[in-house]
């Protein structure tokens, strides 16, 4: 037995020594390998004065030319950022965007992507699986997913998603076949609350009054509910058109953002520039943009979560920022052929801002 053990030890020692003296150039891939992806996401850490492209990935992503649809930040860990993509589901970063990594969520077209505001381990994400639009939920930060809604046929997909910050069991979702739905039990069951004339592309909830629900459709319809979706009216749209009669109805505005600080305040943007309401859409005032929105429509709006006088809008490849409610603007431009799709303030540190871009189509 001792002789056999000695032979084994000598053999192992021989392997170790031969490895140390080897002149072979073959080596394993470096654990520090990074990949460059398209310049579709930019970040500022000085309130929008300077920007840097966040285009590095620790993984070789299935889609290298990213089209960003939305950006969400973990409410309890600001370094954890998720990006919903037009193709490729979503990707994530655990270091504030310095390095992105792929996820197991392989469905396409993540128009809807959201953290539960009270439990960031719970995630919701839309997707297309086997050509059918679906909504998924994870209760373990994206390690496992379960389906909580599916379209009745191939084609329609989830086009918008919003969670009530005051009651995370209430979820609103819209489909590309013009339905607006609501769940009151965190996605276990759903009811159809509104049938629009075209796909609802944005849902926004008043921060203070959860009964105030706003929706914007692809063809420019703006509707609101004052009773949590029980009834909707489009009287606000008529008020909007009176403020922008020189533009064709239904083509004026397609961007919607509720003010994160002030109840009843909201903004619309598009070919009509930017208009603002302080009474939940009953009346509107025009904010004069720096560019001509008829040539380069407003495609994204964001309001500083701690200072409503500071707002940012995007048009084409340029960012415009105001610190006095839209009286004066400063500008920044991105060196890319893509168009600004979304702007996201970090709610815990508004000096940090993300901008996502996508192709024109």
Map out the domains of the chain with their CATH numbers.
Answer: 34-358 (2.130.10.10)
Hey, which residues does 100 pair with through a beta bridge?
57
Q: What is the maximal distance between C-alpha atoms in the chain? A: 98
Cβ burial of 89 (10 Å; 0-12, 13-18, 19+) is buried
10 Å Cβ neighbour count for 352? 21
pLDDT at 256 over 80: yes
Give the Cα separation of 163 and 186 in Å (integer). 9
Give the Cα separation of 123 and 179 in Å (integer). 22
pLDDT at 6 over 50: no
Give the Cα separation of 110 and 173 in Å (integer). 13
pLDDT value of residue 220: 82
Local confidence band at 155 (pLDDT 50, 70, 90 cut-offs): confident
Give the Cα separation of 90 and 36 in Å (integer). 17
- List Cβ neighbours of 165 (8 Å cut-off, separation of 6 or more): 117, 205, 207, 210
Q: What is the pTM of this model?
A: 0.86
10 Å Cβ neighbour count for 87? 14
**pLDDT (average), residues 120-134:** 92
* Residues 114/161, Cβ–Cβ less than 8 Å: yes
pLDDT value of residue 108: 85
10 Å Cβ neighbour count for 355? 27
Local confidence band at 323 (pLDDT 50, 70, 90 cut-offs): very high
* Residues 180/203, Cβ–Cβ less than 8 Å: yes
Hey, which residues does 295 pair with through a beta bridge?
none
Give the Cα separation of 312 and 329 in Å (integer). 9
**pLDDT (average), residues 285-309:** 95
pLDDT value of residue 16: 27
Find the Cα–Cα–Cα–Cα dihedral 312, 289, 196, 73, rounded to 10°: -10
Give me the percent of the chain exceeding a pLDDT of 70. 86
């Amino acid at each position: 037995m001792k002789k056999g053990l000695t032979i084994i030890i000598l053999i192992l020692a021989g392997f170790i020594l031969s490895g140390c003296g080897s002149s072979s150039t073959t080596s394993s891939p470096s654990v520090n390998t990074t990949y460059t992806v398209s310049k579709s996401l930019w970040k500022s850490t000085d309130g929008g004065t300077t920007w840097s492209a966040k285009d590095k990935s620790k993984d070789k992503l299935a889609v290298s030319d990213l089209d960003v649809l939305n950006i969400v930040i973990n409410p309890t860990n600001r370094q954890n950022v998720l990006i919903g993509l037009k193709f490729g589901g979503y990707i994530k970063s655990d270091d504030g965007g310095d390095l992105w990594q792929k996820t197991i969520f392989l469905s396409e077209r993540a128009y809807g992507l959201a953290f539960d505001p009270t439990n960031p381990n719970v995630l919701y994400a839309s997707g297309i699986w086997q050509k059918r639009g679906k909504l998924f939920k994870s209760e373990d930060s994206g390690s496992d997913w379960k389906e909580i809604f599916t379209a009745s046929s191939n084609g329609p997909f989830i086009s918008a998603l919003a969670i009530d910050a005051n009651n995370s069991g209430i979820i609103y979702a819209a489909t590309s076949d013009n339905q607006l739905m609501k769940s009151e039990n965190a996605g276990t069951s759903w009811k159809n609350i509104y049938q629009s004339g075209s796909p609802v592309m944005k849902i926004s909830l008043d921060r203070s009054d959860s009964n105030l629900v706003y929706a914007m459709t692809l063809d420019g319809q703006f509707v609101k509910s004052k009773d949590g979706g029980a009834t909707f009216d489009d009287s606000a749209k008529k008020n909007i058109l009176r403020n922008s009669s020189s533009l064709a109805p239904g083509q004026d505005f397609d961007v919607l953002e509720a003010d994160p600080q002030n109840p009843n305040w909201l903004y619309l943007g598009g070919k009509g520039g930017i208009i603002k309401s302080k009474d939940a859409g009953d009346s509107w005032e025009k904010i004069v943009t720096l560019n001509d929105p008829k040539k380069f429509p407003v495609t994204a709006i964001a309001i500083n979560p701690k200072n409503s006088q500071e707002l940012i809008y995007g048009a084409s490849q340029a960012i415009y920022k105001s610190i006095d409610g839209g009286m004066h603007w400063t500008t920044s431009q991105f060196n890319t052929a893509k168009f600004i799709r979304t702007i996201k303030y970090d709610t815990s540190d508004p000096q940090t801002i993300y901008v996502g871009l996508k192709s024109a189509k």
